[in-house]
Structure 1
Amino acid sequence: MKSISTVYPNSTNFLNIDAIDEFCFHIGGDSSALKNEFLVIKPMLQSKKVNNVIELYNEIISMSDAFPQTLKMITNAITMPISQVTCERSFSKMKIIKNYLLNSMTNERLSDLTVMAIERDF
């Protein structure tokens, strides 16, 4: 999601009000209120050195009453699972299946077992 990059200080979309609609939709936020909050926060942060999203969170948390939508967006961005984990889990499961079961089954069965192992709920 491109819009999540709006809360990452090193991103080119940092506090870009044009890129937040999609993320607001996903977290159930008020995009017009968030855009207004971004317009106020942006000048405030220009004088401060904010290097990452955790530092941004620490700056905004003290003003949580003034910026509730921004705080909600940052909190969701921090706690959102990273998609790379799914990819790594896929390779891990394929390695286990391949080593143990590869010689005893057809490619179709191996493929089906791989999909089941990767997509199972934890």
Structure 2
Amino acid sequence: MQEYDTNFGFLYDLEKLRDMKEDYIMKERCIALDNSLSVGNFHDIDCADLFSELRVLQELIPQETNSALQVLQILKSLNGSFPKAEIAYRILLTVPVTVASGERSFSKLKLIKKYLRTTMSQERLNALAMLSIEKELAESLEYQDLIAEFAAVKVRKMG
């Protein structure tokens, strides 16, 4: 969590971003983010470009904007005017802070696999895992409607 906050905290907390007036602090944060998102000579973002884009964004982002998702929506509406900032915000919003959802998936998969052993295809195993993970949603479905829709699709294919 600390590493995530160190790398992405200044982008996530818009008050920090708005209040960051010293260039050297923002440059340090951009360099740290660039380093964390690079492997060897491959970089997802360029820290100098990101720094200059964020300087402009500080003035451009409306005061009523209060979430990183809203910032990403604004960036998308600007049609690629801030490509490095858009990449940074997309990564920020897709990196899971915890691994709880992954752990739940493996836990459910372990239960399903234990019960059915290895006698099924990968596709069926994935489908059963998804049903188990999304149990609440699956229980709310009207099965009679789904069966009727499935039957209607199959009839059209045969005819």
Q: What is residue 33 of structure 1 aligned with on the other side? A: 49
**Measured at CA, do residues 11 and 48 of structure 1 come closer, stay the same or move farther in structure 2, by a change above 3 Å?**
closer
Pick the aligned partner of 1:53 from 49, 53, 68. 68
Letter in 2 for 1:24: D
Cα distance per residue 1:35-89 (max 9 Å; x no partner): 00011110111x4411111111111111242100000000000000213528x94
Distance 2:80 2:89 in 1: 14
Pick the aligned partner of 1:72 from 76, 83, 87. 87
Distance 1:5 1:58 in 2: 19
Percent identity, aligned pairs only, is: 12
Bigger CA radius of gyration: 2
Larger RCO (alpha carbons 8 Å, 6+ apart) = 1
The runs of 5 or more residues in structure 1 that have no matched partner are 94-122
Pairwise CA distance, 1:19: 1.3
Query: What pairs up with 1:1-122 in 2 under 5 angstroms?
Result: 1=4, 2-10=6-14, 12=16, 14=17, 16=20, 17=26, 18-27=28-37, 28=43, 29-45=45-61, 47-83=62-98, 85=100, 89=103
* RMSD over aligned Cα atoms: 2.7
Pairwise CA distance, 1:11: 5.3
Q: What is residue 106 of structure 1 aligned with on the other side? A: none
The runs of 5 or more residues in structure 2 that have no matched partner are 21-25, 38-42, 108-159
Distance 2:14 2:56 in 1: 19
**Measured at CA, do residues 49 and 9 of structure 1 come closer, stay the same or move farther in structure 2, by a change above 3 Å?**
farther
Normalising by structure 2, we get a TM-score of 0.48
Normalising by structure 1, we get a TM-score of 0.60
**Measured at CA, do residues 76 and 49 of structure 1 come closer, stay the same or move farther in structure 2, by a change above 3 Å?**
same
